[in-house]
Amino acid sequence: MVSKHNVVAVEPWLNGSAADLETNAVHAAAPIMDMQTVPLSRLHLTQKHAYLSTANVSSKNAEIEVDNKSALLAVEAAVAIVINGIHYAILMASPYQLEYLAIGFLYSEGLIHHSHELLDWEVTQLTNIASYRRFTSNLTDDLLDEKTAFEQFSAQLQDYDVYVVELVLNQRCHQRIQAQKRQLAGRTGCGMCGITGLSQALPDLSHYLSSGLQQKQSESSVPSLNYLLHMHQQIGAAQHTHQLTGAVHAAATMQDKDLYLFEDVGRHNALDKLIGWQLRNKTELTCVVMTSRLSIELVQKSIRSHIPWLVGMSAPTSTAVRVAERYGLGLAGFLRDDRVTYYTNYEDA
């Protein structure tokens, strides 16, 4: 038996737009683009099927309830990174704080070492085929196969949110870009997509040890359980886009008792945004908490950024722990309401 309920309404607690909530979520600096013009989530019609009771689920007569209702879903935008007129990569990301995302991404790629190497930037949303034409005409490498008609691509463009982050770097950085250009578009779930060689995917990070990570690690105490539980509680309260959609990760840190949180559909993008914010504000980090599992690319980014402690709400991978041990990165996971598990550097905890 099936009972139907037509509900086309957002839950009562979803007052205001996702943009309004996001604006009040964290202490991070204001993004380049006006939040009112950047949708982080959209309303979609859905149909939910659920058993009214779990007691007799296997029974043929178990009653199923069908609800037609609306749901907010996270926007996943294509973000083209263009450096000195060269198309470098496309990231699938949440279209917010894209300046920080670009800076953090370039730093994690080893293309910039300091924020002052970035001379200028501009963020543009491609809203129609005319803006796409202008974008491709200015590129050294055209993204569009010449056999593909603009009219055909225009129909596809309607399904996507497309942003272009154009960066101007100094000449030394330009030489690095030409030597290390990615060949493929990146995806939301993988921070290594598009890397073409093992040396890029599995880099030697030993020079980061001599430049201060181990010294910072020795000077940084192990984050206590109480400290991490306090961060866990604040992150849960501040992650508004995740509350709306259930589909974004966050990277967060504490500065002078204030929480700075960066959300994105990709966990590696969230960390890149935090790293970009760190570089722009010349801030020292002691501990970063991720709402995700801890994979190898997050560990590599943390080592490059001299982050002493990386903590996840899920587990790390074995490779992540081994690399963290080699380079002295403090690693912890399974941060929950009442516990945390340390995997490295816990002797003094």
Cβ-based burial of 275 (10 A; exposed 0-12, middle 13-18, buried ≥19): buried
Alpha carbons 248 and 18: distance in angstroms, whole number: 13
Residue 88 CA neighbour count, 13 Å, CB half: 27
How many of the other CB atoms lie within 10 Å of CB of 202? Answer: 14
Q: What is the DSSP string of 116-156?
A: GGEEEEEEEEE-SHHHHHHHHHT-SS-SS-TTS-HHHHHHH
Residue 7 is encoded by which pair of tokens?
Answer: 């509900």
In this structure, what DSSP letter does residue 190 have?
Answer: B
Residue 45 is encoded by which pair of tokens?
Answer: 């019609």
Alpha carbons 114 and 118: distance in angstroms, whole number: 8
- For residue 139, the one-letter residue type is L
Alpha carbons 248 and 270: distance in angstroms, whole number: 9
Alpha carbons 256 and 242: distance in angstroms, whole number: 25
Q: ∠ at Cα 77 (9, 231), nearest 5°?
A: 75
DSSP reduced 3-state for 188:
coil
Helices 150-157 and 129-137: crossing angle in degrees, nearest 10, is: 120
Q: Which of 118, 124, 120, 3 is nearest to 53 (CA)?
A: 3
Catalytic site residue 190? yes
With a CB cutoff of 8 Å and minimum separation 6, the contacts of 209 are 327, 328
- List the helix and strand counts (H, then E) for the chain: 13, 13
Which of the residues 173, 190, 193, 287 is marked catalytic?
Answer: 190
What are the catalytic residues?
190
